[in-house]
């Protein structure tokens, strides 16, 4: 655990080890209520993220509290829906041909975002059709989250660029916030994963020897980090914290260090990703389709 403190300005604790992240997730007083806006820099960070990761005044599911019964119900329902579709992808159906072709080097490098966005979108809306516009909207949301220049971010808010991007994505999934998150935020981890898989495919030896599940494990990409906030003072892994302290769970770093794919999807925790079965099945199916192992 790494604590960063500037009196009156900043209280942050970073967790980048598997056991640390698990311990934080098990702390009942560490949540996603995000009700405290102090100290100053903590408040600015949360305001920025919640401003991006909300639609029509309601937060995306990934920013909702563990105490929310509605969040838990929707999360479980979506897990059931996506997991039921996972077996369809695992054998490399024809629906994956365009992405498999990209993996084999057919098409432009930048096309992968649109191809994957369409696959993700169809998990929420069967007629989903991705476009240059919808992909640009996803890029805008990702850039807004990562933006460190407050002037640029402020200008995007004033001009409505972030709102317009959300609206483009929302219109394609009937305003489903999980769908907006999937096609606008989580999609970028899938793009990273497929680019990693393309490197594996480019090695003839690996292409011929790797089983689908091995290719998937070597390609998976975890979110760089997710945030939590302390609703009360406490201590975790020997590190004391005050109410309002922000926890930065560095999932990508923890995955690289541990190799445990459960951390990619927060498997087994209250905030488990609903796509923890669906994403590996999709990637496995793409590998199967590209390597003709059907």
DSSP secondary structure string for all residues of 247-272 = EEE-HHHHHHHH--THHHHTTTSTT-
Residue 6 phi/psi, 5-degree rounding, is: -130, 110
- Tell whether domain 2-291 is in CATH 3.40.50.2000: no
Tokens for 40? Answer: 């100053």
The phi-psi region of residue 105 (left if phi > 0; otherwise alpha if psi is between -120 and 50; otherwise beta) is left
Q: What is the pLDDT of residues 26-55, one digit of tens each?
A: 999 999 999 999 999 999 999 999 999 999
Query: Nearest-CA neighbor of 141 among 166, 177, 160?
Result: 166
Q: Is 0.85 surpassed by the pTM of this model?
A: yes
* pLDDT on residue 10: 98
Instruction: Compute the average pLDDT of residues 201-212.
Output: 97
pLDDT tens digits for range 142-164: 999 999 888 888 899 899 999 99
Which residues share a beta bridge with 14?
2, 248
Contacts of 146 (CB under 8 A, 6+ apart): none
DSSP state of 180: H
Q: What average pLDDT does the structure give for the chain?
A: 97
């Amino acid at each position: 655990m790494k604590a960063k403190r500037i009196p009156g300005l900043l209280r942050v604790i970073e967790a980048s080890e598997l056991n640390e992240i698990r311990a934080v997730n098990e702390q009942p007083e560490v949540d996603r209520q995000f009700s405290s806006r102090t100290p100053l820099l903590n408040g600015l960070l949360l305001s920025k993220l919640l401003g991006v990761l909300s639609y029509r005044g309601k937060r995306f599911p990934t920013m909702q509290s563990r105490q929310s019964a509605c969040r838990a119900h929707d999360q479980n329902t979506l897990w059931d829906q996506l997991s039921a579709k996972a077996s369809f992808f695992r054998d490399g159906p024809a629906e994956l041909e365009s992405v498999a072709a990209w993996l084999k080097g057919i098409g432009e490098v930048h096309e992968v975002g649109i191809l994957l966005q369409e696959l993700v979108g169809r998990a929420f809306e069967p007629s989903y059709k991705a476009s240059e516009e919808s992909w640009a909207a996803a890029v805008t949301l990702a850039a807004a989250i990562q933006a460190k220049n407050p002037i640029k971010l402020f200008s995007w808010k004033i001009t409505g660029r972030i709102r317009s991007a959300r609206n483009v994505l929302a219109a394609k999934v009937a305003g489903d916030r999980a769908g907006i998150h999937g096609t606008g935020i989580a999609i970028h981890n899938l793009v990273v994963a497929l680019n990693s898989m393309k490197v594996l495919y480019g090695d003839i030896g690996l292409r011929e020897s790797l089983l689908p599940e091995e290719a998937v494990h070597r390609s998976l990409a975890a979110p760089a980090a997710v945030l939590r906030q302390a609703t009360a003072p406490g201590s975790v892994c020997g590190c004391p914290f005050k109410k309002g302290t922000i926890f930065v769970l560095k999932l990508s770093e923890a995955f690289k260090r541990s190799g445990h794919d459960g951390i990619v999807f927060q498997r087994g925790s209250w905030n488990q990703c609903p796509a923890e079965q669906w994403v590996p099945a999709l990637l496995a199916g793409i590998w199967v389709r590209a390597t003709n192992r059907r």
